[in-house]
Chain A
Amino acid sequence: MSFLRAWISGDGEEPAAESQAERGIAQLIDLSKQQSLADPAGPAPETSEPSSGPAPVSAAGDDTGHPIPEVQPRPRARAVWAGPVLVAVALGILGQAWVGYQGRITGYPSSVRWYGTLCLIFVPSAALIMSGRISDQARTWFTLFLSLALLATRFVLYPDQFVYHDELINYRVLLSIEQTRHLFTPNSLLPVTADYPGLAIATSAVHQLTGLSLHSSGMTILVVVRLIMTLSLVRITQRISGSVTLGCLAALIYATNPQYIYFNSQYSYQSIALPLCFFCVYVFTMERKAEGLLAVVPSAAVVLAVAASHHLSSLALIVVLWAWYLFTRITKRPVDQLLALAVISLLIVAIWTFMARAVIVPYISEIARNSITNIVNLLHGRSSHQFFTDTAGDHNPAWEVALSALSVLLIISTLVPALWHAFMKRRLLSAAAITLFVIAAMYPIIPVGHLTNATAEVSDRSSGFIYVGLAYLVAAWWFRSGAFHRHARADRFTVPRHTWLLVVGLTICFVGGTVIGSGPSWLFGPGRYLVSADNRSVDPLALQAAHWEGASLSPGNRVYTDRVNGLLAAVYGDQHVLTALGDRVDQGTVSTLLLRNPAPADVSVACRAGVHFLIADQRLATSLPHVGVYIDVGEYLSGMRTAPPDPGALTKFDNVRGAERIFDNGAIRIYDLRGLQCAGRS
């Protein structure tokens, strides 16, 4: 509650912090030294008083010869805007709920209202956080409040169930734990998820300890990990820079990353692993009381949790730790126990990956193969990828396209001078700061990756990591004091640092980044049914069929169907859905069961794949798929399709001898193929 007190009184440590922030990049002192300064008994990190000890540069000047001006502390101001901002954020959440409600009623959610209400949450909060009118503590808490409010927008759009592709896949892992009481039950939807059950374990624990439903427990975990992510980011940045304000700005910049609103808010295993990566670094940079290897036990425990949660996140953590260690060697400023943690982490991740090798290798290979194929097609001019247009032809509105392009330009135009600024002052950078510098320099991967479909997904996923470096570097640049160029005058090539300018820039990057990460407009919320459109394909008809399967069919039958009905059949129907990754079926051949007109080979295809039940959604014949495929990558006519399949392709088993039609709800028909006269079957 102390933050509330600080909020109201408006007192606290803001002037000192502001002064510290203004000293900017000159405060990039070594983490190990920063740790030694921390006073465990007092609120040292909150006060951000200028540290005495080893700060390398005084306020009087730096090694470039440019003076770093002393910033006069601002007069203390009461945080009169805190209350109204609090209500504005709540209204933003209400607006999001209204968008979802309208989407369900009218079938057409308004993207203008969606982004507008997101801005109602983001803009006032960002303005207040960067205004300097609240204490450091309040600033930190408000940054956390903003991040949780943005997460809440997902909950009010889909308050009662998981609907996105990755959410349903991970929900299947959770259901398996509840059913079998053990981990690592194979998940045919995406086999690799079964071997990284960290999210499902934590959710199951909350479910069992609190009595909440599985969905509510999942949302609880998402809230907790969002909290961990935000506060870790603020604290890590604060420890490197010595400024709470800079830490909060870094968290705001991080919130503009393309995956923040959409993917990293989903019930997906990366959503827990990424915050735990940040937490691992935070724990490691705490003042440690234990000596020797015991000192890294808490961090190693977090690494183990990361390793058990997500493959690429744990790999990224290892790379970061080793890069950090490498830079400590180069800068000759060692960090205690960093090598020990890097080695232990490498062992943990290597062992876990080795145990999961049967699923992780095919999975990564598949991603790599798709990405390479897409790049080769692009280089040969065969790419069918269209910017801001999904495969069914839905376009983002022009204003969304403009804002996303503007956001990329804005980020590049701040990142370049930020990188240059950091480069010019490289002798002052700690190893941790250099690591973030390198991570930030990888930003071009994100926009360039959008040249093809497969690489767009990979590059967007990487934004969760890249934006950590970018957020830190741009925040440090914003609070710079000297010119970013050694030979430039301090005020010539730099933009004035007005708070309103910062908030406008952040807002553009926030909206533009969300457009890039969320993709087409239909993806953000509920509305009328769309073909193969993940959340928009989960409708009462699809759910009715899936629940019927769960109630009427024995569990674990081999089922073949399209992408969304497959997810629902696995989750609510408890069926084993045939997939290329899970069952090594030839997708190009088996998908003809649903996507090709009747052919003599249909029976033999079904027999060879061992299909027990075929779920045919007639609506697939009404439109091209919105996510690029009806079933999965490599399906029949994948990448060459210009029209939806003929309706006859989906009803052909009505006339096949031995096939029974056992369910019909107007849209979805379920065929029992166990009676097919297969060659060699008695």
Chain B
Amino acid sequence: MRWPELALRLALIASPFGAVASGLPAWITAPLSFLSIAVTAELAVRPYGTSAVDRVLLGCGAVVTTLILVGIILNLTPWGLTQVTWNVAWLILSVGILVWRRRLGTHISLPVSGLGVLAAWAAAGVLIIAAAGMLALAGVRHVARQPVLAFALVVKKPNSVIVEVEATSMTGKYHILATSDTAGARQYTSPVFAVKAGENGTRVLREVPINTPGFWTIDLESADSGSVVRWLRVNAG
């Protein structure tokens, strides 16, 4: 292996380690890492693979097997399976393979001739598959936009409880009504408040004063219709 190739391989091995450690986004780190893994795996299995198919198969199989076995070994260490231990383990493995296969040189040649027609078809295929991916995600976003409204307890305090209204894709005006059968309990009615939830949802917190310990029923009432849309039953105080 000549020194330019060695340097390039070392850079490829080290770059994902640095990229992931520095917190770069996945669209940068993932391609780098996959390239690094593929290049290392190809080098490791090259003498055993008699054709491209065999090398791809051996490389993928070897990577999956190695990851599982390395994971079992990492589990035995006090640090376990973390980003650091995985990256260090892979770094050691990659350098080890580089040393092991130091006598193998690589000659890269791209099949330039005759690719034109099929490349055009392939490009069309890739575009269609990309469209499929976007369509699938559009469907997911549609579902995520469906209106939902939740009313929930957040925390209990000695003289009050905090409740939340968590909503997505809906608007409305509500007020909170707190009642209790406990002797001396004073009913509480909150001022009307608006919930304006877009596609990303919103969370509205309200504090409900409680004047006596016991079980309280806390209603979320629609200010428009006057009907109870959600309710809670809380042992407060």
Contact = CB atoms under 8 A, between A and B. Distances in A.
A91 B26 CA distance: 28
A7 B115 CA distance: 9
A41 B50 CA distance: 6
Given A209-B33, A286-B48, A665-B151, A98 B26 contact: no
B111 A4 contact: yes
B71 A540 contact: no
Given A40-B47, A40-B48, A183-B75, A159 B136 contact: yes
Nearest to A232: B57
Contacts of A548: 150, 152, 166
A94 B124 CA distance: 12
Interface of A: 1-5, 7-9, 38-46, 82-84, 86-87, 89-91, 93-94, 96-98, 100-101, 103-105, 137, 140-141, 152, 155-157, 159-160, 177, 180-184, 197-198, 201-202, 204-206, 208-213, 216, 221, 224-225, 227-228, 231-232, 234-235, 272, 276, 279, 282-283, 286, 301-302, 304-305, 308-309, 526, 539-541, 544-545, 548, 552, 654, 658-666, 670, 675
Interface in B93-135: 110-111, 113-115, 117-118, 120-122, 124-126, 128-129, 131-133, 135
A309 B68 contact: yes
Given A98-B135, A541-B148, A552 B154 contact: yes
B90 A221 contact: no
Contact of A666 (B68, B79, B90, B149): B149
A629 B113 CA distance: 60
Contacts of A90: 124-126, 128-129, 132
Give the dominant DSSP class at A's interface.
helix
Contacts of B128: 87, 90-91, 93-94
B231 interface: yes
- Which one of A105, A141, A544 has the greatest number of beta carbons of chain B within 10 Å? A544
Contacts of B140: 104, 159-160
A661 B151 CA distance: 10
Contacts of B75: 182-184
B16 A664 contact: no
A664 B232 contact: yes
Contacts of A211: 19-20, 24-26, 29-30, 33
A214 to B, nearest CB: 11
Interface residues of B, number: 86
A660 B150 contact: no
A180 B152 contact: no
B26 A43 contact: no
Contact of B234 (A8, A45, A96, A662): A662
Given A86-B125, A87-B124, A232 B61 contact: yes
Nearest to B135: A97
B82 A181 contact: yes
Given A276-B64, A283-B61, A94 B80 contact: no
Contacts of B72: 183, 201, 308
B235 interface: yes
B151 A101 contact: no
Give the dominant DSSP class at B's interface.
helix
B133 A159 contact: yes
Contacts of A1: 52, 110-111
A183 B75 CA distance: 6
B43 interface: no
B69 interface: yes
Interface in B19-48: 19-20, 24-26, 29-30, 33-34, 37, 47-48
Given A86-B121, A94-B128, A198 B30 contact: no
Contact of A101 (B51, B138, B229): B138
A2 B26 contact: no
Contacts of B151: 663-665
B10 interface: no
B137 interface: yes
A235 B217 CA distance: 68
B60 A227 contact: yes
Interface string B71-86: 1100100011111001
Nearest to A303: B65
B114 A9 contact: yes
Contacts of B19: 211
A207 to B, nearest CB: 9
A4 B71 contact: no
Given A4-B111, A5-B115, A8-B117, 17 more contacts: A5-B113, A42-B50, A44-B50, A104-B139, A152-B132, A183-B71, A202-B68, A204-B71, A205-B86, A208-B87, A209-B87, A210-B29, A227-B56, A548-B152, A663-B150, A665-B150, A665-B230
